[in-house]
A and B are shown apart, each in its own frame.
Chain A
Amino acid sequence: MTVTAPVSLTQHVAELEAGEHVIAAAWLGAVPALALSDGAVMVGAQDDQSRVDVHGAAGLLTAVAVGGHLFTGGGDGRVCSIDAHGQMKELARDARGGWIDAIAATPAGAVAFSVGKRVTARDEKGVLKQFEAPSTAQGLAFAPKGYRLAIAHYNGAALWFPNTSTPTQLLEWKGAHLDATISPDGRFVVTSMQENALHGWRLAAKPTDKVAHMRMSGYPAKTRSFSWSHDGNWLATSGAEAVIIWPFQGDGPMGKAPRECGVRRAKVTQVTFHPGAYVIAAGYEDGCILLLRLTDGSELLARPAVKGSGITALSWDRPGKRLLFGCADGQAGLLTLPA
């Protein structure tokens, strides 16, 4: 057995100056983009970089990138999309100008957003449909197939089919549900909760089957970031002083212990699985970023801890060669993995 210094990738990071709290990091094709709390989106990097003012002084609150577009929701009640050329388009506007609480999108270009209890889905043709959740819709997630939306709210989640007459399916579980995600195979809906736990539902394969509940608890803080492995077998989560990774092969994680990677004396704030390998990029509240290999727990340092610069956004490009990150204090960077 040999002892070696932890391998560092820090010399492969190019710094970016975002200047504001980074809400989301995204890839518009091969172009990196950062959604910023001051209402702007920074498109590109280094010499080829532009700032697009999207939401103005009302601020940008939430953003998601899918299919080469960044979809943003602002304090001005507007939902916009930005492409790799920095072209901005307004897609929808809340009639009362309320804060956009959550946003989700599909690769085909459909987008859904919520303002309080009101959920609006806009399909790729621009047709708007509305749904009123029983309480504030805090989290939204599209299913990988079909035009179906999971809506996390107080005391459960709803599965809504905006374009069909199929009745909305209510998934009940007491408590306040925050963010939502659906597994790549569409079998599991998982929400994060106010009580520092995750709740999962295994959806019925046949109408006669029962929905199974999964309770994943033990977190010292709320989980606000989760990411599925490329094959859908694992769900990596934030909220602990390590990345907690739940197994979703077969019937799901019940009765199985989760994996823990990247144990440090700081909480994980952001996680994102590599698009093609069992490698997780983990961002911590103290600004550190580690790349973690699930199979053996080995660690690579991508960014050392930086005071006041907690990681708020992480995103792999599609080939999995570059990692974009953003921080609470407006720092950001681009890691290019050595060939």
Chain B
Amino acid sequence: MSDKIPVTVLTGYLGAGKTTLLNRILSEPHGKKYAVIVNEFGEIGIDNDLVVGADEEVFEMNNGCICCTVRGDLIRIIDGLMKRKGKFDAIIVETTGLADPAPVAQTFFMDQDVGERARLDAVVTVADAKYLTQRLKDAPEAKNQIAFADVIILNKTDLVTVAELDAVEATIRMLNPAAKLHRTTKCALPIADVLDRNAFDLDRILEIEPDFLEEGHHHHHADDIRSMSFEIRGDVDPDKFMPWIQELTQVQGPDILRCKGILAFKNEPKRFVFQGVHMILDGDLQRDWRNDEARVSRAVFIGRNLDRDAIRKGFFATAA
């Protein structure tokens, strides 16, 4: 395991319960020390020397790529914190309710100094079971946060009926079928479900579910965020796949929030795993395919304005 400091990003629309979750993490007797980067001082009820105020400054990188944005304040704060290595075990970044998680995530891949010393562990989104459906209609930020998440905490479940809860979970699943979802009241859940998830570690991408909501996709509007997953029952030709995925993420990167895949490459005993944030792609060969495993190639894309048929066609054309 690397000695990079894990960083957990907490997102969620205003009032969903981010601060409740943060206070819970900080107050439990886990014996760990967290440095916390917050936007509003004073909300945290815990004494902690390592609480730092951030101002969510988003910088565009001068590389001609409009989606390549980083959080300048985060670069500076992590640089400062790393000079005090050993004083804390992990970093938690709480974003404002209106924040886009992408620049936060991209900071860990685009900034060399940050990437060498810290690793993005997971994006955790807290959602309000009662109001999420409404927020998804009127707040694009809320939709982004759900679509981007690795872990979704569907909170305040005591304020809705079981039927309402199932409905909101189904809505979430249309946006993001891959995230781990936990139903909670007052954000009560084991901290291990939130921290140390290694969601961006290629070695931890174990399974990609087939698209169980395939039938529902026609209800989406074209400008909506949606997820799509595809499966090739067999091998993929890397000489076809690599140029295709690179071009797709270059051209449609601004609209692709997240992508992930596990592929069987022709004549390759190991699984190829990739994941991406907008235009940033990361991929590597992982463990061997097991004998009891079918060699199938699956990929998931979450984004807006994505042409499902074109992506499906493009992906299937890479079959070996």
B57 at the interface (CB under 8 A from A): yes
If A194-B59, A195-B63 touch, whether A61 touches B72 (CB-CB below 8 Å) is: no
- Please, how many angstroms separate the alpha-carbon atoms of A119 and B53 in the complex? 17
Chain B residues with CB below 8 A from A75, complex form: 49, 52, 80
Chain B interface residue count: which class? Answer: 20 to 34
- Please, how many angstroms separate the alpha-carbon atoms of A86 and B71 in the complex? 38
Chain B residues with CB below 8 A from A59, complex form: 49, 80, 83-84
CB distance from A173 to the nearest CB of B (A): 9
Interface residues of A in 85-141 (CB under 8 A from B): 96, 98-99, 101, 116-117, 135-136, 138
Chain A residues with CB below 8 A from B233, complex form: none
B99 at the interface (CB under 8 A from A): no
Chain A residues with CB below 8 A from B113, complex form: 221-222
Tell whether, in the assembled complex, residue B55 and residue A116 are in contact, meaning their CB atoms are under 8 Å apart.
Answer: yes
Q: Which of A57, A116, A174, A193 lies in contact with B49, CB distance below 8 A? A: A57
Tell whether, in the assembled complex, residue A136 and residue B62 are in contact, meaning their CB atoms are under 8 Å apart.
Answer: no
B75 at the interface (CB under 8 A from A): yes
Digit string of B57-85 for contact with A (CB within 8 Å is 1, else 0)?
A: 10101110000001011011100100111
A246 at the interface (CB under 8 A from B): no
Tell whether, in the assembled complex, residue B84 and residue A176 are in contact, meaning their CB atoms are under 8 Å apart.
Answer: no
- Please, how many angstroms separate the alpha-carbon atoms of A58 and B51 in the complex? 9
Q: Which residue of B lies closest to A101 (CB)?
A: B76
B112 at the interface (CB under 8 A from A): yes
CB distance from B277 to the nearest CB of A (A): 18
- Please, how many angstroms separate the alpha-carbon atoms of A58 and B53 in the complex? 13
Chain A residues with CB below 8 A from B76, complex form: 101, 136, 138
CB distance from B133 to the nearest CB of A (A): 36
Tell whether, in the assembled complex, residue A174 and residue B62 are in contact, meaning their CB atoms are under 8 Å apart.
Answer: yes
Digit string of A17-43 for contact with B (CB within 8 Å is 1, else 0)?
A: 000010100000000000001100000
Tell whether, in the assembled complex, residue A61 and residue B80 are in contact, meaning their CB atoms are under 8 Å apart.
Answer: yes
Tell whether, in the assembled complex, residue B62 and residue A21 are in contact, meaning their CB atoms are under 8 Å apart.
Answer: no
- Please, how many angstroms separate the alpha-carbon atoms of A153 and B57 in the complex? 11
CB distance from A110 to the nearest CB of B (A): 24
CB distance from A76 to the nearest CB of B (A): 9
Digit string of B109-125 for contact with A (CB within 8 Å is 1, else 0)?
A: 00111000000000000
If A136-B55, A195-B63 touch, whether A176 touches B41 (CB-CB below 8 Å) is: no
**Inter-chain residue pair count (beta carbon < 8 A):** 62
Tell whether, in the assembled complex, residue B72 and residue A176 are in contact, meaning their CB atoms are under 8 Å apart.
Answer: yes
Q: Which of A23, A96, A99, A194 lies in contact with B72, CB distance below 8 A? A: A194
Tell whether, in the assembled complex, residue A99 and residue B52 are in contact, meaning their CB atoms are under 8 Å apart.
Answer: yes
Tell whether, in the assembled complex, residue B72 and residue A154 are in contact, meaning their CB atoms are under 8 Å apart.
Answer: yes
A276 at the interface (CB under 8 A from B): no
A175 at the interface (CB under 8 A from B): yes
Tell whether, in the assembled complex, residue A37 and residue B83 are in contact, meaning their CB atoms are under 8 Å apart.
Answer: yes
Chain B residues with CB below 8 A from A221, complex form: 112-113
If A57-B49, A135-B57, A136-B57 touch, whether A175 touches B84 (CB-CB below 8 Å) is: no
Chain B residues with CB below 8 A from A138, complex form: 72, 76
Residue from the set B76, B77, B83 with the largest chain A CB neighbour count within 10 Å = B83
Chain A residues with CB below 8 A from B57, complex form: 135-136, 154
CB distance from B113 to the nearest CB of A (A): 7
Tell whether, in the assembled complex, residue A136 and residue B49 are in contact, meaning their CB atoms are under 8 Å apart.
Answer: no
What's the dominant secondary structure at chain A's contact region? loop
- Please, how many angstroms separate the alpha-carbon atoms of A61 and B292 in the complex? 55
Q: Which of B61, B73, B84, B112 lies in contact with A136, CB distance below 8 A? A: B73
- Please, how many angstroms separate the alpha-carbon atoms of A38 and B80 in the complex? 11
Q: Which of B59, B77, B112 lies in contact with A99, CB distance below 8 A? A: B77
Interface residues of A in 134-169 (CB under 8 A from B): 135-136, 138, 154
Residue from the set B76, B77, B85 with the largest chain A CB neighbour count within 10 Å = B76
Q: Which residue of B lies closest to A175 (CB)?
A: B62
- Please, how many angstroms separate the alpha-carbon atoms of A98 and B75 in the complex? 16
Chain A residues with CB below 8 A from B41, complex form: 96
Residue from the set A37, A38, A221 with the largest chain B CB neighbour count within 10 Å = A37
Residue from the set A61, A136, A194, A222 with the largest chain B CB neighbour count within 10 Å = A194
- Please, how many angstroms separate the alpha-carbon atoms of A175 and B84 in the complex? 28
If A154-B59, A194-B61, A195-B61 touch, whether A23 touches B83 (CB-CB below 8 Å) is: yes
Q: Which of A96, A98, A176, A328 lies in contact with B59, CB distance below 8 A? A: A176
Tell whether, in the assembled complex, residue A38 and residue B59 are in contact, meaning their CB atoms are under 8 Å apart.
Answer: no
Tell whether, in the assembled complex, residue A21 and residue B84 are in contact, meaning their CB atoms are under 8 Å apart.
Answer: yes
Chain A residues with CB below 8 A from B55, complex form: 116-117, 136
- Please, how many angstroms separate the alpha-carbon atoms of A176 and B111 in the complex? 12
CB distance from A78 to the nearest CB of B (A): 14
Q: Which of A61, A174, A194 lies in contact with B75, CB distance below 8 A? A: A194
Interface residues of A in 217-238 (CB under 8 A from B): 221-222
Tell whether, in the assembled complex, residue B80 and residue A99 are in contact, meaning their CB atoms are under 8 Å apart.
Answer: yes
Chain A residues with CB below 8 A from B73, complex form: 136
- Please, how many angstroms separate the alpha-carbon atoms of A23 and B111 in the complex? 21
CB distance from B118 to the nearest CB of A (A): 15
- Please, how many angstroms separate the alpha-carbon atoms of A175 and B75 in the complex? 14
CB distance from A319 to the nearest CB of B (A): 30
Chain A residues with CB below 8 A from B62, complex form: 174-175, 193, 195
Tell whether, in the assembled complex, residue A38 and residue B49 are in contact, meaning their CB atoms are under 8 Å apart.
Answer: no
Q: Which residue of B lies closest to A195 (CB)?
A: B62
Residues of B bordering A, CB below 8 Å = 41, 49, 52-53, 55, 57, 59, 61-63, 70, 72-73, 75-77, 80, 83-85, 111-113
Task: Name 8 interchain pairs, CB-CB below 8 A, sorted by A.
Answer: A37-B83, A37-B84, A75-B80, A136-B57, A175-B61, A195-B62, A312-B83, A328-B83
Q: Which 4 A-B pairs have the closest CB atoms?
A: A37-B83, A57-B49, A21-B83, A176-B59
Excluding A37-B84, A328-B83, 10 further A-B contacts by CB distance (< 8 Å) are A38-B84, A59-B80, A99-B53, A99-B80, A116-B55, A138-B72, A174-B62, A175-B61, A194-B59, A194-B72
